[in-house]
Amino acid sequence: MVRSVSRLVALLVTMTLVVGCAGRPSRPADGPLAGQAVEVAAIWTGAEQAAFLAVLEAFEARTGATVRYTSGGDDLPTLLNSRLAGGSPPDVALIGQPGVVTQLARRGVLAPLTGEAEVAVRSHYSPEWVELGTIDGTLYGVYYKVANKSVIWYRPDAFDEAGVRPPRTWEELHQVTRTLADAGVGTMAVPGADGWVLTDWFENIYLRVAGAERYDQLARHEIPWTHPTVVESLTLLQDYWSADRAIQDDPLQLKFVQAVADVFGPRPKSSMLFEGDFVAAEIIRLGMVAVGDGAAFFDWPSIHGSPPAVVTAGDQAVAFTNRPVTMALIAFLASPEAAEIAARRGGFLSANQGLDPAAYPDPVTRELATSLRNADVLRFDLSDLTPQSFGGGTNAEMWRLLQGFLADGGDPQQVAEQLEAAAQRAFRSPA
């Protein structure tokens, strides 16, 4: 799962076992749900939390209900599991891993979205997004916040210096990288210390090489990881990673946050960084260059003439109770009004069709949202769809294998076989 929040913060949260509860003074309010309390849990802290609280306040003002927000940090699934074991889950949780949502739904602890919540989701979201929130034919979740993980960020001044333009095809990407290397302005930073970045690399190539159908099949492990399309994707990945001077040295020691600083910081070492829209938040936090001016992005290049495709991720709001106030809150989160409040504050992309793109505060965010909306092929982050031990966390096997592949190279066929062996273990065990 992708977090732009520093891992450190997550560690602090985990290790001190502090669950930050952000309570706000409750104001007496009138409304249809006055006096009712509802609890919602998500991973957000800091600015993201503040933006979410603004949305919750609007809900309170509208309905009179009181909302309590619990931040679970990066280990939200662990928090939810222990709360479930204790018999008191929050009413609503925003979960980033569809695999976790599927597990919870199959365990029967989630409440299906009904009534006004279901109506809101079906009327404001495209069928693809509704489908992503549906498990075994029942609607369980709505994607409140989404990410565009098919963009590559770059420094326009470095591109000017080298005289190159953003590439549109895979071959052009190779060429641009070579020219950047010749110009001595630095090339691609690959933060291999964070395994999730590498899974995103693979997924973007795989979606373009194999197409959406095979992508879905691989996500469900209906085709093996030794499939020729996987081997081909790994080969393309290796071609790029091992090309002369194509990536910054010692990638396995480079963490995502440091990579952002290595590209957009005071002493740039590289001029490109592949990761999702949330890179913008890190660039803003660094404060060295302005997004849209000293930092720009291009869509992930097409491979073998593939159509515009986007790998996406997102936080899904699910319900653990079916109280009216719970459903009302989900319905509100699925509404264009809520999306607009969050969008105006920045650092937020929505898949809500009712949202006016003018609500995004800057052209870059608007462009990111547009590219997400215009994609011919839209697929969810594959590693997040697989069991946690395979694709979704520190020590996950896919992360480790790709890290080894990045560091030591190796035969793509062999790596594919290792991935398959790991996938078989992960998909067999019930956890």
Applying CB under 8 A, the residues found at the interface with other proteins are: 7-8, 11-12, 15-16, 75, 78, 81, 160-164, 178-179, 181-185, 192-195, 244-245, 250, 252-253, 255, 258, 267, 388-389, 393-396, 399-400, 403, 407, 429-431
Q: Residue 174 is which amino acid?
A: H
- Those residues whose C-beta lies under 8 Å from the C-beta of residue 86, and which sit 6 or more positions away, are none
Minimum CB separation from other proteins for residue 270, in Å? 12
Provide, rounded to whole angstroms, the least separation between the CB of residue 164 and other proteins: 7
CB nearer other proteins, residue 78 or residue 123 = 78
Give the C-alpha separation, 102 to 161, whole Å: 49
- Smallest separation, CB 175 to other proteins (Å): 11
Identify which of residues 126 and 429 has a Cβ nearer to other proteins in the complex.
Answer: 429
Rounded Cα distance, 401 and 417, in Å: 11
Rounded least distance, CB 44 to other proteins, Å: 20
Q: How far is the CB of 28 from other proteins (least distance, A)?
A: 41
In angstroms, rounded to a whole number, what is the distance separating the alpha carbons of residues 32 and 45? 30
**Closer residue to other proteins in complex, CB, 182/356:** 182
Residue 249 φ/ψ region, left for φ over 0, alpha for ψ in the -120 to 50 degree band, beta for the rest: beta
Classify residue 152 by its DSSP letter.
E
| Distance from C-alpha of 118 to C-alpha of 391, rounded to nearest angstrom | 30
Smallest separation, CB 418 to other proteins (Å): 12
CB 258 within 8 A of CB 286: no
The residue among 23 and 428 lying less far from other proteins, judged by its C-beta, is 428
**129/399 with CB nearer other proteins:** 399
Cβ nearer to other proteins, comparing 220 with 425: 425
Q: What does the alpha-carbon distance between residue 234 and residue 222 come to, in Å, rounded to a whole number? A: 19
CA dist., res. 10 & res. 167, Å (int): 36
Element (H, E) at 22: strand 21-22
What is the spatial distance between Cα 309 and Cα 302, in angstroms, rounded to a whole number? 8
